[in-house]
């Protein structure tokens, strides 16, 4: 009797956890992704702010799977799912399955604002981080030779939308890059000439955290020179300006968007299934979709209710769901049952700058140096590959002691068409 075939679509956090749990356990395992590497997305902003090389936060999938019995990898673009025929449609042909785990992640949500989608940068892919780094460095090069004061000010104004962990971490890292590195590289540009503006629609940053940590993060960013605008919304943008909902306009050539995510395009390939807000697929308590118990959706694409509220679109949720889906497949084959999926919240954290972060874990709250150290150690732990851990640790150590960023290379003078949102 042939082995049952499990296909995993997407090798993000959820897909990787599922693959690890299924590898070598008697299934024919096929992993499909448009990239040949697993990307550690939480550190993309450090690539964009010249803190890390691209290779330090990515790891080849084939290097992971070479010792996994019964596992194979297919580099392909997914174009559809035939639920009736139980096959995945790709540009490399059809891939049949007995079980399917959909873990394709998310895309940036611009909430229908086409002008923002056209002109904003986001961080979902490795090449986007490189493009954003090139753009930031080029703005300083252009400003250093710009005679017009107003245009120079716009070139040196960087607007960040979204006060969640990504926006807060990017704002802090960008401000430190400007203060400690770029202002030294460009003696004709002073720190006072630059602006980093963080815009959040809610009345506080990091809304998922306790109020004292939210206030601390806001105070710390402002003390670093970041302009924090709360209860403000961006409603439009051009190549040289950002428009707020009250009619105010910020002259800026750089807009970074981290204010929302939606299910990846692959969600649209699952025809006839129930969807929730942001295009997420509604799943059953065992993470399968209704009428198709052999198909599981995990991570950002899945709308899984807990206490009546959808679980957040975060890496820890995706990781736990990936492991659960693998266990569920094992249980099905053995004729066993499992209790419904339940997410265990281990806490949350966000770094603000050097020696400064906020974190919650097991009911405790941390801030400052201790939270920052915990953030460093946890991210090093979850990185894949000994070399990557060593490279990241050495970069962080060097930056800590010398306040320097070595990866400030302009590798392309024009934003590649493939990186456009």
How many percent of the chain have pLDDT more than 70?
Answer: 97
How many percent of the chain have pLDDT more than 90?
Answer: 90
Picking from 108, 140, 111, the residue whose alpha carbon sits closest to that of residue 121 is 108
- Domain at 5-34+76-108+262-334: CATH code: 3.50.50.60
Cα separation, 358 vs 372, in Å, equals 7
Q: How far is CA 26 from CA 223, 323, 325, 327, 330, in A?
A: 56, 16, 16, 13, 10
Q: Do domains 5-34+76-108+262-334 and 114-259+347-408 have the same CATH topology?
A: yes
Tell me how far the alpha carbon of residue 79 is from its chain's centroid.
23
pLDDT at 3: 85
Q: Which of 169, 176, 200, 243 is catalytic?
A: 169
Domain segments of the chain as ranges: 5-34+76-108+262-334, 114-259+347-408
Query: Residue 334 has which token pair?
Result: 């053995």
Question: Do residues 265 and 259 lie in contact, with contact meaning Cβ atoms separated by under 8 Å?
Answer: no
pLDDT at 363: 83
Picking from 375, 380, 377, 387, the residue whose alpha carbon sits closest to that of residue 55 is 387
pLDDT at 412: 78
Strand order in the sheet with 87-90: 78-82, 87-90, 93-96
Please, which pLDDT band fits residue 2 given cuts at 50, 70 and 90? low
- How much is the average pLDDT of 230-256? 97
Reply yes or no on whether the pLDDT at 135 is more than 70: yes
Please, which pLDDT band fits residue 406 given cuts at 50, 70 and 90? confident
Does the domain at 114-259+347-408 match CATH 3.40.50.10110? Answer given as no
Helix axes 165-177, 211-224, angle to 10 degrees: 20
Tell me how far the alpha carbon of residue 301 is from its chain's centroid.
14
Question: Do residues 92 and 45 lie in contact, with contact meaning Cβ atoms separated by under 8 Å?
Answer: no
pLDDT at 414: 55
pLDDT at 202: 96
Q: How far is CA 271 from CA 279, 304, 393, in A?
A: 12, 18, 45
Reply yes or no on whether the pLDDT at 1 is more than 50: no
- How much is the average pLDDT of 118-145? 96
Is residue 394 helix, strand or coil? helix
Burial (CB < 10 A; 0-12, 13-18, 19+), residue 8, is: buried
Per-residue pLDDT tens digits for 11-58: 999 999 999 999 988 999 999 999 999 999 999 999 999 999 999 999
Is residue 60 helix, strand or coil? strand
pLDDT at 382: 94
Helix and strand element counts for the chain (H, E) = 12, 27
Mean pLDDT score of the chain, rounded to an integer? 94
Is 169 assigned a catalytic role?
A: yes
φ, ψ dihedrals at 50, nearest 5°:
65, 25
In the 8-state DSSP scheme, what is residue 107? E
Per-residue pLDDT tens digits for 175-229: 999 999 999 999 999 999 999 999 999 999 999 999 999 999 999 999 999 999 9
pLDDT at 413: 62
Burial call 103-131: b when 16+ CB within 10 Å, e when fewer: bbbbbbbbeebebbbebbbbbbbbebbbb
Query: Residue 259 has which token pair?
Result: 């204010």
pLDDT at 421: 36
CB within 8 Å of 246: residues ≥ 6 apart: 232
């Amino acid at each position: 009797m042939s082995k049952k075939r499990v296909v995993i679509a997407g090798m993000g956090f959820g897909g990787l956890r599922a693959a690890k749990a299924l590898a070598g356990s008697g299934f024919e395992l096929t992993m499909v992704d448009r990239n040949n590497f697993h990307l550690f997305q939480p550190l993309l902003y450090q690539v964009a702010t010249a803190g890390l090389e691209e290779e330090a936060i990515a790891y080849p999938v084939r290097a992971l799977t070479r010792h996994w019995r019964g596992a194979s990898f297919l580099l392909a673009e997914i174009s559809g799912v035939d639920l009736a025929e139980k096959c995945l449609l790709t540009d490399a042909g059809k891939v049949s399955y007995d079980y399917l785990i959909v873990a394709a992640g998310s895309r940036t949500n611009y909430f229908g604002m086409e002008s923002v989608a056209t002109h904003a940068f986001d961080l979902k892919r490795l090449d986007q981080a490189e493009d954003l780094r090139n753009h930031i460095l080029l703005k300083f090069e252009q400003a250093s030779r710009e005679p017009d004061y107003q245009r120079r000010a716009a070139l040196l104004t960087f607007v960040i939308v979204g006060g969640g962990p990504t926006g807060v971490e990017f704002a802090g890292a960008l401000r430190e890059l400007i203060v400690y590195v770029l202002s030294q590289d460009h003696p004709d540009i002073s720190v006072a000439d630059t602006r980093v503006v963080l815009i959040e629609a809610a009345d506080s940053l990091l809304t998922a955290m306790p109020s004292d940590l939210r206030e601390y993060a806001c105070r710390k960013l402002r003390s670093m020179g970041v302009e924090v605008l709360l209860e403000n919304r961006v409603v439009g943008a051009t190549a040289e300006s950002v428009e707020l909902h009250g009619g105010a306009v910020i002259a800026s050539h750089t807009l970074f968007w981290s204010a929302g995510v939606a299910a990846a395009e692959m969600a649209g390939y699952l025809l006839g299934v129930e969807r929730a807000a942001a295009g997420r697929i509604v799943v059953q308590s065992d993470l399968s979709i209704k009428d198709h118990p052999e198909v599981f959706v995990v991570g950002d694409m899945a709308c899984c209710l807990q206490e009546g509220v959808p679980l957040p679109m975060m890496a820890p949720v995706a990781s736990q769901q990936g492991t659960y889906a693998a266990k569920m497949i094992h249980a099905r084959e053995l004729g066993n049952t499992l209790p419904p999926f339940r997410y265990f919240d281990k806490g949350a954290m966000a770094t603000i700058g050097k020696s400064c972060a906020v974190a919650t874990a097991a009911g405790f709250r941390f801030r400052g140096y201790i939270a920052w150290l915990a953030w460093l150690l946890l991210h090093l732990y979850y990185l894949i590959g000994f070399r990557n851990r060593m490279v990241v640790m050495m970069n962080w150590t060097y930056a800590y002691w010398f306040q320097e960023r070595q990866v400030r290379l302009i590798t392309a003078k024009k934003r590649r068409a493939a990186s456009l949102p």
